[in-house]
Structures are given as C-alpha cells and as structure tokens.
Amino acid sequence: MSTVTGRRDRRGVGTGAARPDGIPKVTGEFAYSSDLWEAGMLWGATLRSPHPSARIISIDTTAAVAMPGVRAVLTADDVPGRPTYGLEVPDQPVFASDVVRYVGEPIAAVAADHYDIARRAAAAIVVTYDVLDPLLDPEASLTAEPLHPDGNVFRHMVIRHGDPDAVGDPAAGDIVVEGTYEVGMQDQAPLGTESGLAKPTADGGVELRIGTQWLHVDRDQIAASLDLDPDLVQVELAGVGGAFGAREDVSLQIHLCLLAKRTGRPVKMIYGREESFLGHVHRHPARMWFRHTAKADGTLVKVEAKLLFDGGAYCSSSPAVLANATCFAGGPYKIPNAVVEGSAVRTNNPPCGAMRGFGSVQVCFGHEGQMDKLAAALGMDPVELRLKNALAPGDRLITGQRLDGAAPVAALIEAVAASPLPGEVDGPMGLPGGPGRTTQAGDVRRGVALAVGFKNLMFSEGYDDSAAAKIRLFDGVATVSTACAEVGQGFVTLVHQIVHEVLGDDIEVVLNTASTTDVGSAGSTSASRQTWMSGGAVKLAADDIKAQVDLDPDRAEYLADVVHQHTPTTPLDENGQGEPHVSFTFACHRAVVDVDPELGVLRLVDLVTSQEVGKILNPVQLLGQLEGGAAQGAGLALMEEIVLEGGHIKNPSFTDYLIPTSFDLPELRVAAIIEEPEPHLGAPFGAKGVGEAPTISSGAAVIAAIRAATGLELPRVPVRPSDIALSPDRTP
C-alpha cells in the first residue's frame, strides 16, 4: 500500500489534519439525525402503497384517527400548498391521492404519542385499490400509455459529433465491434436511515432538523407544499449517516413539517431499514448498446451508443443523470465521430436518481467492455489500445467541448498498468468463498484487467451554480458559516485547513455548529462539488478577510460575506453540442480476480488505482474517498443489486442487499495521484472534488477481470455466481 501521509507540522492545506468529527463518530458520541430528541415530541409514521400500479378508490382513516394516542392523520387533502415535489420537475405527489405508481409510494402520514402507535395507526388506514397491471419494462414504456400527465419520457437526447454518417472501411482493415451491456439497480445503502425532527415555530413557520445533502432545496420544496414563505421554513443539518445521493431528494421532510404544523408539537420520524429502501431513490438500472469502429491500428473512428435508463415512477434527477451518461458514453478517449442516443423513462419501478458517479458509472461498464472487445478483435493489448486513444489536454469531447484543464489519461493508465501484480494468495481464507471453504487453490483461474473513466465536476448545462460562505474574524477567532451539508466527506476538516492556510496557523477556526438555511445556499453536496464550491467560497472569504487585515490591521472585527460561482456552462444544442461542463475528473483501476468457475464464486485479490486530483488538500481524506469509492464501484460489479419482482423490492435489508465485506475487498493500492492545479475560477488552491471518480471505473475493471478469468461475455452487472457456473459457454 502506498502510504499517503500528510505534513503534521502545519495546519494548512496538504496536511493530514484529523477530522473534527472523527473521534466522536468512532466512539459513538456523534449525534446522528436518528438521535434527535425533544421533550413532548410525537412520532411519525408513513403508510405506503403495496402495489406498483393501482387506482385509489378510497382512503378511510377513521380507525386510525380513533386510536388512542394518535394526534394527526394526514393525506393528500391536508397538503395546503403544492401537492407535488421533485428535484428537477415537481411530478411526485407528497401523498398519492388518485393513483399509486410504485411500491412504497406514500399515501398518508400519522403522528402519535409513541412510535408503535404511529405505525399501528398507519397500518389501520384502509385504502381500497383498483389494482392495475404495472409497467415494468423500460423498453415498453417508450410506447406505452403514459403513467403520468407528464408522459413516460423524462428525457430523450442525442449527441451527434463529427460526421454522424461516418462508417469504417473494411477494405482498409477497419474493425467494428458491437456489444450490449446491462447494469442492475444499485442502492446507496447509507448506514443511517432517513430521520429528522420538525417543530412548529412561533411565527407560524416550521423548523426542521434533518440529515440531507442540500438544505435550501429541501427548504424550497417544503415551503411550496406547506404554502409558506421560504423564510418561515428553517432547515438545519442534523448528523448525516451517509448519503451518496440518497439524501438529495425529499423523503420525509415535507411529511414531518406537515405533521408538526398540524399537531403544533415536535414530531420525529425515523425510517426502518426496509422503509429506507422504499423511501429513497436508487441508481438507475441501464441497458446499453454500443458499436465501436476503429482503424486496424486501433485508432477510434466512431462510437455509436443507445442508452436506456429506467427512471422508475418519478423524475427525480433522471434528466441530469441521462445527460451525464450520454456525454461520457464514449469514455475518456479521442472520438472523432459519435452518435449517442439516450432515454430515461418512467416505469412502475422504484424511482431512481442521484448516486455517486451519476450516469458515468453505468456507461463505464459499456465503453470499457467495448475497448476490451475491440482490443481482442484487433489482436491488440487492451492497455495499448487505451493509450493510443487516450484523451489529452486540448482534445474535444463528443459534445464538442475542448478540454482546457488537466487530462492525464495516458499517465493514469500507465501508472496502474506498471504496478506490480500480486502473487498467489496466502492461505485458504484468501480464496473465493473465504471461510466457507468452498474453494482450493487448484479450483481457481485468475484474471487481470484495467478500466478508466471520467465525469464532470459540479452542475452542468448552464445551471446557475453557486455557494455562499461567511467569515467573521474577531479577537483571533475566525468563525465560518456555510450551509454546506457535511455528509461524511470531510468538508468540516477542509474548512479549518483552508482558513489556516490563508490566515495563518495561529488563529482559531470555528465552524458554525450546524449548517442552516440562515446562510445563503451552498448548493448540493453532490457532483463532487463542495470542495471546489463551498471550499472555494470559504477561501474567497478568507482572502477577503486577509486583504482587510493587511489594509487595516487594528480593527477588532472583520467580516466577509461571499457568494462563489463557477465558470458558466451552456446548455446542449439539438445535436448535443455545447460547453455543458466546467471541469472533469479522471481515474483508472486495475483489478485482479480469482474465479472458481465451477461454482461461480470469486475473490477480488488486488485493486490498484490512479487518479487526477487537482491538488491534494488532505491526503488522509483523499485516500478515504479513493477507498470508499472503489469499494462502492466494485460492489456494483460483484453483488450490490436491488432485486425486483413485479415492482417489489425482494431484498430490502442488509441480510439480502449485500455490500462487500473485508473478505470481498483487498486493501486498495494507489499507483499514482496526479496533481495538476485546476485552472478554473475559484477552485481553492487548484483543488477539485475527488469523491465520485473512484466509483466509476473500479466496477468496470472488476467485471473485465472476471471476463478475462472465465472467457465469458458476462454482459450484465452485478455478476451472479450462476452467470458463471451455469453459463453454456463455460469451458471446463
């Protein structure tokens, strides 16, 4: 393991400063949103649809209302404001009233004196349904009767780049390879389930403490549905037990605020594990077709792709996820000609939205599968083929956008490819099956493969993206206020480091105790954007203070209040061309997998990575992101999948939704971290977000290594043991 340790002699950037919330988290003292408590509080519970598609004939709350200890039972009739919400399009009912469109859709919410009473009361609500045939196939959705007044297509887009009609020249030895790839539905699986506490305020408003990724977008959606002025809705961040995209959409926020307003009392809600799986969005499952054309020497001529993303019942962030998928469908390669068509559609499956890697993860399985196929067809080394086509600074993407920042794709690939390969595993516990003793050394075949991926940083397509920060310097103490949601990524550490770097080690840095909507919006903790956006805002504010001090060193108090905006982007035109992204991030992984083909069980023996990071602000936190991201990406290739049957989630628990354990993942090795300061505006010290890139290519490397070990196509992830053991193509 290559050690990444930071300087400890200073407190500024580049040091391995310890997280302020680290020790409380490992000792159990950290207060998560599930620990919220108020004297006299009530408990909320939600009634959800048991059907993927049904008309609601009637809702009878009489029995629930009559139960002792029940303080409120709310349905769609009790929503005073906008009856729907949504991140991009408000198409999702706060409570379903006429139809339900997925299993788990909320229909009513209850507040009661006790958690059990609330749950029993919710169960006592009698809903009569006219059950309909669910629409579960995204392909069929394109032509089916609309499930919603907004229609079934969340977004359809085409990228046409270079000469869309270009074809290869077989006479000159050009090669064409086609492939179809499928990705199952992954869950963010945060350990903390959704929870929060709302209470009414004296001014007629409401105050919500909640684990979320974006305080202001929650606030605005609550205000709209409660018909309140946004200023009357206070949202404060409570301790977040993991997010990964699952907390970007509203889950219990509006329900809690409605219940608190109705009862005039504090109300707490906490989802159980099963409800959590029903209550948040997932990663989009995808079906993807690709056709790659290359010259005999491996130079890419053209990439064609058709992508179909199942968005489930409601829109969430489907349009933005799809945009990423289409923009990055070709991978980090020079592609002179491209036609990429993408659709995200509505079905009666659970809604899908944001998850770490956001569209790039799915297509990476496709473009990297294609590069390996192409290499095989050309008789070329897959590393060689990738190096030959690797994007470099100044190159154009398939959107026509020029890469004006770092793009060390070849260097990343070379570093990983040059990393030494591991030897035989040491002892039976290191074999597939581990303590299950299924496999002995003679039963395994080894595969090695590499994959590379990229994605955008921050919001795209002309979105007006900003982050605010305030600093007050008084008596040697710098108090920093931002609305940035710390979801575990370590922003709280960076704030200290950034302020120390600018104002010196001797001042004391205090971060406002909790992020609130009293400060201007920080934007979402997603899209790898907070280091750059809120970190950039904090840096600008610190710079401002420093300038004031330099000018007039004798004042008692200095104030800075900044809003940081990144370089503007443009929408995509009808051919998918434009300058839709600010900046990009690249990473590469190589996986070594031992497979027991007879049983289909396997062991990821080695995983090595390289990443381009702008500038390292905190090497320890950087490594944490590389490890966690690689684990989440590998998990999707190895096992992580929401199993659906007729629109029902069959595995809504950690007994059956499996995430990798220490027996499934090796210790991540880092072959290279490439620092090239980000040239764009506001990136603090040239740093950029590092959280998503590690998730993109690790899974693609893992499945490619399994293919290399078995010789099987394995077009679908996660790969199941039966895909290998029962494959008719398996050679004994």
Partner 1 sequence: MPVLVPETLEEACAALAARPGATLLAGGTDLMVGINAGRTRPDDVVMVGRLAELRGWVRDGDHVVLGAGVTYTECMAEPLASLSPVLAQAARSVGSPQIRNAGTLGGNLGTASPAGDGVTALVALGGTVRVRSTEGERDLDLATFVTGPRRTERRPDELIVSVRVPVADGPQEFLKLGTRNAMVIAVASVALVVEPGAVRLAMGSVGPGPVRATEAEAFAASVVDWTTGTAAAGAADEFGALAAAASRPIDDHRSSAAYRRRAIEILAKRAFLRSFSS
Binding site for partner 1 (CB under 8 A): 119, 272-274, 432-438, 440, 443, 598-601, 603, 639, 643, 645, 650-651, 653, 655-656, 658, 660-664, 720-722, 725-726
Shortest distance (Å) from residue 51 CB to partner 1: 19
Shortest distance (Å) from residue 727 CB to partner 1: 11
Q: Between 54 and 644, name the residue whose CB sits nearer to partner 1.
A: 644
Q: Between 641 and 692, name the residue whose CB sits nearer to partner 1.
A: 641
Residues with Cβ < 8 Å from 11, sequence gap 6 or more?
17, 496, 497, 500, 505
For the four alpha carbons of 499, 500, 506 and 508, in that order, the dihedral sign comes to positive
Cα dihedral value 62, 64, 69, 70, nearest 10: -90
Strands 233-237 and 99-100, sheet pairing: unpaired
Residue 396: closest CA among 565, 677, 584, 527: 584
Q: Between 433 and 580, name the residue whose CB sits nearer to partner 1.
A: 433
Amino acid at 618: N
Q: Between 3 and 662, name the residue whose CB sits nearer to partner 1.
A: 662
Residues with Cβ < 8 Å from 504, sequence gap 6 or more?
none
DSSP calls for 482-504? -----SSS-HHHHHHHHHHHHH-
CA angle 621, 624, 630 (to 5 degrees): 145
Shortest distance (Å) from residue 70 CB to partner 1: 19
Residue 424: closest CA among 409, 438, 437, 440: 440
Residues with Cβ < 8 Å from 85, sequence gap 6 or more?
92, 94, 221, 224, 225, 250, 254
Shortest distance (Å) from residue 634 CB to partner 1: 12
Q: Between 512 and 651, name the residue whose CB sits nearer to partner 1.
A: 651
Q: Between 143 and 661, name the residue whose CB sits nearer to partner 1.
A: 661
Q: Between 289 and 663, name the residue whose CB sits nearer to partner 1.
A: 663
Tally of CA atoms within 13 A in the half-sphere of 195 that contains its CB: 23
Q: Between 120 and 396, name the residue whose CB sits nearer to partner 1.
A: 120
Q: Between 408 and 666, name the residue whose CB sits nearer to partner 1.
A: 666
Query: In 10 A of CB 598, how many CB atoms?
Result: 14
Shortest distance (Å) from residue 435 CB to partner 1: 5
Shortest distance (Å) from residue 274 CB to partner 1: 7
Shortest distance (Å) from residue 655 CB to partner 1: 7
Stated as kind and residue range, the H or E segment containing 417 is helix 409-418
Range list of H helices, 8-131: 22-27, 62-66, 115-124
Torsional class of 410: left (φ above 0), alpha (ψ -120 to 50), beta (otherwise): alpha
User: What's the start-to-end Cα distance of the chain, in Å?
Assistant: 35
Q: Do residues 454 and 328 lie in contact, with contact meaning Cβ atoms separated by under 8 Å?
A: yes
DSSP calls for 377-408? HHT--HHHHHHHHB--TT-B-TTS-B--S---
Shortest distance (Å) from residue 724 CB to partner 1: 10
Shortest distance (Å) from residue 653 CB to partner 1: 7
DSSP letter, residue 247: T
- CA–CA gap between residue 474 and residue 508 (Å, rounded): 10
Shortest distance (Å) from residue 644 CB to partner 1: 9
Q: Between 549 and 658, name the residue whose CB sits nearer to partner 1.
A: 658
Shortest distance (Å) from residue 421 CB to partner 1: 21
Q: Between 22 and 272, name the residue whose CB sits nearer to partner 1.
A: 272
Stated as kind and residue range, the H or E segment containing 217 is helix 215-226
Shortest distance (Å) from residue 109 CB to partner 1: 18
Residue 206: closest CA among 153, 284, 258, 245: 258
- CA–CA gap between residue 84 and residue 315 (Å, rounded): 12
Q: Between 308 and 605, name the residue whose CB sits nearer to partner 1.
A: 605
